[in-house]
Structure 1
Amino acid sequence: MPGFVQAEVIGTTVPALPLTAERIAEAPEASRTAWADYLAWSKAQSLADQAVLTAERMGLSPLPAPAPGGDGAKTMPLNRETAWYASPEARHVADVIVSFQTPAGGWGKNAPRDGAIRQRGQSWVAGKDEAWHYVGTFDNGATTTELQFLARVAAQAPGAEGDSYRASFLRGVAYVLWAQYPNGGWPQVWPLEGGYHDAVTFNDNTLSDIVAVLHLTAAGQGDYAFVPPAVRDQAAEALDRAIAVILASQVRIEGRLTAWGQQHDTLTLRPVGARNFEPASLSSSESAGLLLELMKIEQPAPAVVASVHAGAAWLKSKAMTGVAWVRVGNDKALVPDAQAKPLWARYYSLETGQPIFGDRDLTIHDDVAGISTERRNGYAWYGTSPQKALDVYAEWGQKHPQ
């Protein structure tokens, strides 16, 4: 058919490598000790977490079932009126949060916090079988949402009744600090779980969410006024290192700064794949989230200013107009729509700069129509969220010219 271009398989997703002693041995010599210490600490903490659960379960029969999974964020609202956080409802949620905090200090994901208090011997992770998986994670807003909710409730309980919330918050901040890599990034799961979970994770705005909490903790104002000065200083130092890894991870193509991937290799900071359908690429949504965090810096260094201008220029260059990503019958497709908001593909090829799409069989395609129906309809291949970053940039760019 004249003018018709056949969709093609253009590559294969290679999952990210875990952090291992063997990989550390091949890293630059000056960094090996820090990485080896980090890995050893992670392994020790994982064993300690498992030992606590084993001890709790001695003599228990039957074992308590895991808490039901679900949308945890809905049960931990951060936008209510201040007085609500002093209510019995909010305090119950905070009590549940405290009870499900792992020995390491983090929380599992996809866990409604308005249910029952954790029982002795119960898994810390909601909706999971007995596999040791996501026991402490930043995925899907986990840990960072719990921390912000605890801060809000603690601020409305300044007396002894709020001590448990403040103590849990500080344990959670310590968890964030312990989990930070020597290069300033964070894994998706800590203690480390292996696989793509070990990559420096920007996916679903993981690092952006952590940076936001560190900003609040370091400032020590409002709901965070109870944070001791020493902890504020530690958060500020971690924040500086986080900004450094964001800048170091921004991908250069032909010498020009562009954007960021969904996750980057732990040691090399190159974009890497994750799940079978998530190829190494540049990611519009995660890049927009990182730009929003960089633009919050009150007195940005020249490197930050250059990074933001370059990232915004990249987003502008990828904006699609006149089309919308909508459901058509039982499928989803791009359709003409003159009134549609600017649209971005989720992933862009590191080689061509064009949109790419992954499938469960590891294949990478140049057209969303070429992937399986299940994946085409079950993943956010296009979105409008980067426009928020460009809206903020419109004013920020005037204040911080190139």
Structure 2
Amino acid sequence: MVSLFVALAVLASDVPTVAEASRAMDRAVRFFRTSVSAHGGYLWRYSADLKKREGEGKADPDCVWVQPPGTPAVGMAYLSAYELTKRGYLLDAAREVGECLLQGQLRSGGWAHEIRFEPSARSRYAYRVDPERPRANDRSQLDDDMTQSAIRFLLRLEKAQGRKDRRISEALDYALDALIEAQYPNGAWPQSFTGSNRASSRPVKAASFPETWSRMYTARPYAEHYTLNDNVMGAVIETLLDAWDFRRNARYRDAAVRGGEFLALAQLPEPQPGWAQQYDAEMHPAWARKFEPPAITGGESQQVMRTLIALALRTGERRFLAPVPRALAYYRRLLLPDGRLARFYEIGTDRPLYFTQRYELTYDDSDTPTHYSFKVASH
């Protein structure tokens, strides 16, 4: 019994007090703001001496990353700490992140994967706050939760400030309007956008299988395909529902609902009632990158089902649950011996598809590239 009390005392002494945790947070935030931050923004990783700085790739001292876990993610951490403690310096830190994102908002309404501040590099982008440059990059990215994460952070910052910062509110108005404009008539969003898709003449139809599909990479543009890859649609719908929660504007809910209606349309027909990573204008599974073929996906389909369930819960519309049971039953049949799912299953056969390191399509998983998940967890 004495030894038990001793052990408990040792364990208890290892638990920091509130004061100790608070001091540690103060030091960490001070270090991030004064030594790590660049122009109020952040990257993904830094060496101990801060000389090496990286997002998805190497970055110079005047470059910050939007793509998670970059600038918006750090801002969210500041806001979470502020909401728990109400310490003003944490809100100040979040405001710095907000200012950085304002400097990186594109004229098309969203954000690219990075924000540049060095003048020559910055001139390559069509930032709203800068003079207009007709040939500059103005493509807002929805891939990898880029634009969406920036909007969600700014929504939370707007709320934390009681909607008193007009510049934040105006940037949000602009971004959310652009996001709604980028939605296709069938409810889908592309991987990225430069303007409105609302007047698109593409047909509104349910997903179907092509009569034939190329097993060779087609190298065709895919940025404007209807995109589920990397949870594009799920992140957009989550963002719009958050905007509806925070701002009570029915336009945001309506756009999210149309997105859910697209997810129902995009479910492929029996006997393969799953989803593809991306669809062309005819609602056929389509090629994207050289290792992303037309196929049923075991990865993004799980995200689709979670999004449909979240939509049903947050809107009260149970119709969004209808596609889930038959998809679940289908994917249970596709489980690999180790309990995982292949990222891709062949149209018509359900055979798992992989790529060799030379990017040749194959049924063999022994020589796959290491930069991509060709097998995914099932949960």
Q: What TM-score, normalized by structure 2, do the two folds share?
A: 0.66
Aligned to 2:328: 312
Question: 1:99 touches 1:117 (CA, 8 Å); kept in 2?
Answer: no
Query: 246, 250, 255: which one pairs with 1:233?
Result: 250
Alignment of 1:39-188 (within 5 A): 68=63, 70=65, 72-74=67-69, 75-77=71-73, 78=76, 80-81=80-81, 82=83, 83=86, 86-109=90-113, 111=114, 122-124=123-125, 135-158=139-162, 160=164, 162-188=165-191
Distance in 1, matches of 2:122 and 2:167, equals: 21
Question: 2:106 touches 2:138 (CA, 8 Å); kept in 1?
Answer: no
Distance in 2, matches of 1:125 and 1:367, equals: 44
Distance in 2, matches of 1:137 and 1:204, equals: 12
**1:71 shift after superposition:** 6.7
Question: 1:101 touches 1:124 (CA, 8 Å); kept in 2?
Answer: no
Query: 233, 237, 260: which one pairs with 1:243?
Result: 260
**1:311 shift after superposition:** 1.6
Aligned to 1:275: 289
Question: 1:96 touches 1:117 (CA, 8 Å); kept in 2?
Answer: no
Distance in 1, matches of 2:121 and 2:351, equals: 52
Q: 1:253 to 1:360 in 2, by over 3 A?
A: farther
Question: 1:100 touches 1:118 (CA, 8 Å); kept in 2?
Answer: no
Aligned to 2:300: 286
Is the counterpart of residue 351 in structure 1 residue 348 in structure 2?
yes
Moved over 6 A (4+): 117-120
Q: 1:382 to 1:311 in 2, by over 3 A?
A: same
Q: 1:67 to 1:132 in 2, by over 3 A?
A: farther
Amino acid at match of 2:148: T
Alignment of 1:328-367 (within 5 A): 342-358=339-355, 363-367=360-364
Cα deviation per residue 1:8-42 (whole Å; 9 max; x = unaligned)? xxxxxxxxxxxxxxxxxxxxxxxxxxxxxxxxxxx
**1:369 shift after superposition:** 2.0
Question: 1:263 touches 1:272 (CA, 8 Å); kept in 2?
Answer: yes
Distance in 1, matches of 2:168 and 2:64, equals: 23
Alignment of 1:204-219 (within 5 A): 204-218=230-244
Cα deviation per residue 1:227-255 (whole Å; 9 max; x = unaligned)? 2x5xx22112212211111111101134x
Aligned to 1:260: 275
SS across alignment from 2:294:
coil
SS across alignment from 1:279:
coil
Which region of structure 1 is more displaced relative to structure 2, 359-368 or 278-287?
Answer: 359-368
Q: 1:382 to 1:289 in 2, by over 3 A?
A: same
Aligned-pair identity in percent equals 20
Q: 1:241 to 1:72 in 2, by over 3 A?
A: closer
**1:118 shift after superposition:** 8.3
Q: 1:70 to 1:143 in 2, by over 3 A?
A: closer
Question: 1:346 touches 1:383 (CA, 8 Å); kept in 2?
Answer: yes
Aligned to 2:366: 369
Amino acid at match of 1:367: D
Distance in 2, matches of 1:237 and 1:67, equals: 39
Q: 1:308 to 1:117 in 2, by over 3 A?
A: farther
Question: 2:277 touches 2:300 (CA, 8 Å); kept in 1?
Answer: yes
Distance in 2, matches of 1:238 and 1:136, equals: 18
SS across alignment from 2:361:
strand
Distance in 1, matches of 2:99 and 2:275, equals: 38
Distance in 1, matches of 2:61 and 2:185, equals: 34
Q: What TM-score, normalized by structure 1, do the two folds share?
A: 0.62
Bigger RCO of structures 1 and 2 (CA < 8 A, at least 6 apart): 1
Distance in 2, matches of 1:313 and 1:202, equals: 21
Distance in 1, matches of 2:345 and 2:136, equals: 33
Question: 1:204 touches 1:286 (CA, 8 Å); kept in 2?
Answer: yes
Is the counterpart of residue 381 in structure 1 residue 374 in structure 2?
yes
TM-align CA RMSD:
3.1
SS across alignment from 1:99:
helix
Q: 1:71 to 1:344 in 2, by over 3 A?
A: farther
Q: 1:191 to 1:361 in 2, by over 3 A?
A: farther
Distance in 1, matches of 2:163 and 2:225, equals: 41
Aligned to 1:202: 228
Amino acid at match of 1:202: L
